[in-house]
Structure 1
Amino acid sequence: MQLRRAGKSGLMLSRIGLGTMTWGRDTDEHEAADQCRAFLDAGGNFLDTAAVYGDGDSERVIGGLIGTLFERNDVVIASKAGISFPDGLRKVDNSRSSLIAQLDASLLRLNTDYLDLWQIHTWDSQTPLDDTLSALDYAYASGKARYVGISNFSSWQSAHAITRQEIIANKAPITTIQNEYSLLNRKIEEDLVDAVDTLNVGLLAWSPLGRGVLTGKYRKGVPSDSRAATPHFASFVEPYLSDKQSQIVEAVCVAAEGLGFSPLEVALAWVRDAPAVTSVILGARTGAQLRGALSSEEVTLPEVVRSALNEISRIS
């Protein structure tokens, strides 16, 4: 699998990263190991997780694979902090004390003394940005994080944080931005992609398959074994089941049929090779599903197909 440099840093990431949001909850340890093995065998090197995934269980599963399935130095492990669900209610806390406490807890669960990439999971309007950024500085200076990044920040929030770190001496440089990006959600093209280009940071695209909708599995309804059929994912998928989104899915399916590929391969290749993208983060339900997705490495979309998909999915 091709490796790409994240912006102007020395961090090299496989252009497909393995998302682990369901590990430890919907995906047990054996299935997770099967997915990880298939991913590593395909040449992938980038595992993405977060402290909040499965209330820490995703990190625990990854920690159990270190030394048994792979050596620590052979894999880039990225995690995120700032979100929690005390009493079942979503809470964002990007204060220095809370972030550092989450970092230490993540390292303990992951059975490692450092993260290759540590990211702030989302913007916190209630915490002064300098207090948040000081946690990144601490992680970077202490060696607990080799690189640091931000996630789900808007373009102005991203530019503010990145430039703040650049203009003040001895601050941790922000290496990556992670945001949602797919044919069903091209919002980052409005101005975030320009920020990525101008500031020369890596762009990590999560949910490149439109929360699973671009696979075509929802064309005739909601399958009983799909994420949209589960209580904790139904509201996550539902916004992408509109008539407009269905038109885009149909276009992807038509293109896939004409090219002899699956809709998943077409949709994934479109994001993977979009300007500024360093890596796409792909989650899978099973090892077999992941192996099918990894076949997209062999797919390059003809320019006429990319242009047609650009047109039907463009932001109106």
Structure 2
Amino acid sequence: MQIRPVGRSGLSVSTLGLGTMTWGRDTDSDAAAEQLEAFVGAGGTFVDTANVYGDGAAETILGTLVPRVVPRSAVTLATTTVGVGAGRGRLLAALDESLTRLQTDHVDLWQVHGHDDTVPLSETAETLRTAVDSGRARYVGLSGMAGWQIAALAGWLAGRHGGAVPLVAVENEYSLVERSPEGTVLPAAGSFGLGLLGWAPLGRGVLTGKYRHGTPADSRGASPQFSRYVGRYRGDRAARIVEAVSTAADGLGTSPLAVACAWVRDRPGVAGVVVGARDRAQLLGSLAASDLVLPATIRAALDDVSDVDLADASTVPAVDPATGATPPAGAPEPAG
């Protein structure tokens, strides 16, 4: 599996990342161990979790598996803090709780999710810096933020610390059915040398083609927890894209899953994509497709069928690096 740098940083990740959203809910500890072992055995390094997955159970399970199943040195461990606001005290407390569950003194990448308009962006930026300076995180990133928020935080850190900034990544949903990061997120990330880590590259499972003729009983679409999560991409536009992906897969002698993953993985600015699986067998399907490279003609056809109208795709709002000044109220909502 290919290893790629995250933006213009010294952090590297496997282009396919192992997501753990189902761990502690649909995936128990034994099944998680099988996934982790298979993933690392296939050359994968990037393991992605969050404090809210399984209400903390995903981090707890991962903490019991590393280094028991695979060595700590074999994985690039990332966690995201969600749902605590953006204040210094709450963020650092949540990070410490994650480290306790993960049974480690540091993560390789810590990401903060979402914009909190009750807290100055400068406070959030300095908290990210504190996490690195204290040794809790090697690098830091942002999740689910709009382009202007990314630019503001990166600009503040660059201005305050002379360019020596450990902010390296943005994590957003990105797939053939969700191309909104191309509007402002990717341009902002590129301007500051950040790499994008795309989650849900399979369109929450829709791009695999499993929902073309109904809802399988064992799918996320049939799950009480995830039916709305999947339902967002079951409209007419998504159906046209799914058909194009399936046609491409037939022509290449591969799976729709492989085609969908490869399209996102090789988009400009993308460092890697994160996939989740209920069990080892499902994960192996993704791993088998990790080296597919799409021909230019197929990539162009998929670009065309999934094209959306993205306003001001090349515009990143100006940010004063000395003050971290941001656009006024009315700025765009987070793209993720």
Give the TM-score of the pair, scaled to structure 2: 0.89
Match of 2:89 among 87, 97, 120: 97
Greater relative contact order (Cα < 8 A, sep 6+):
2
Q: Is the 8 A contact 1:182 1:207 kept in 2?
A: yes
Q: How many Å apart are 1:68 and its aligned residue?
A: 1.1
SS of alignment partner, residue 298 of structure 1: coil
| Aligned match of 1:167 | 159
| Aligned match of 2:317 | none
Q: Is the 8 A contact 1:166 1:173 kept in 2?
A: no
Paired letter, 1:288:
A
Q: How many Å apart are 1:184 and its aligned residue?
A: 0.3
Deviates more, 1:194-203 or 1:304-313: 194-203
SS of alignment partner, residue 231 of structure 1: coil
| Aligned match of 1:155 | 147
Partner Cα separation in structure 1 for residue 216 and residue 119 of structure 2: 41
Partner Cα separation in structure 1 for residue 97 and residue 189 of structure 2: 30
| Aligned match of 1:8 | 8
After TM superposition, what 4+ stretches of structure 1 lie above 4 angstroms from structure 2? none
Partner Cα separation in structure 1 for residue 161 and residue 259 of structure 2: 44
Partner Cα separation in structure 1 for residue 233 and residue 167 of structure 2: 31
Q: Is the 8 A contact 2:40 2:74 kept in 1?
A: no
Root-mean-square deviation (Å): 1.2
Deviates more, 1:52-61 or 1:197-206: 197-206
| Residues 202-239 of structure 1 deviation map (CA, whole Å, 9 limit, x = unaligned) | 11001000011000001011111111111111111111
Q: Is the 8 A contact 1:140 1:172 kept in 2?
A: no
Give the 5 Å matches for 1:73-152.
73-83=73-83, 92-152=84-144
Establish whether residue 192 from structure 1 lines up as the match of residue 191 from structure 2. no
Give the 5 Å matches for 1:173-212.
173-212=166-205
Establish whether residue 308 from structure 1 lines up as the match of residue 277 from structure 2. no
Paired letter, 2:142:
I
Q: Is the 8 A contact 2:50 2:82 kept in 1?
A: no
Query: Matched residue pairs, number?
Result: 308
Partner Cα separation in structure 2 for residue 75 and residue 298 of structure 1: 20
Structure 2: which 5+ residue stretches go unaligned? 310-336
Match of 1:231 among 224, 232, 245: 224
Structure 1: which 5+ residue stretches go unaligned? 84-91
Paired letter, 1:238:
G
Q: How many Å apart are 1:169 and its aligned residue?
A: 2.2
Partner Cα separation in structure 1 for residue 18 and residue 203 of structure 2: 16
| Residues 183-204 of structure 1 deviation map (CA, whole Å, 9 limit, x = unaligned) | 0001111222222222111110
Q: Which has the higher helix share?
A: 1
Identical residues among aligned pairs (%): 49
Q: How many Å apart are 1:172 and its aligned residue?
A: 4.6
Paired letter, 2:26:
D
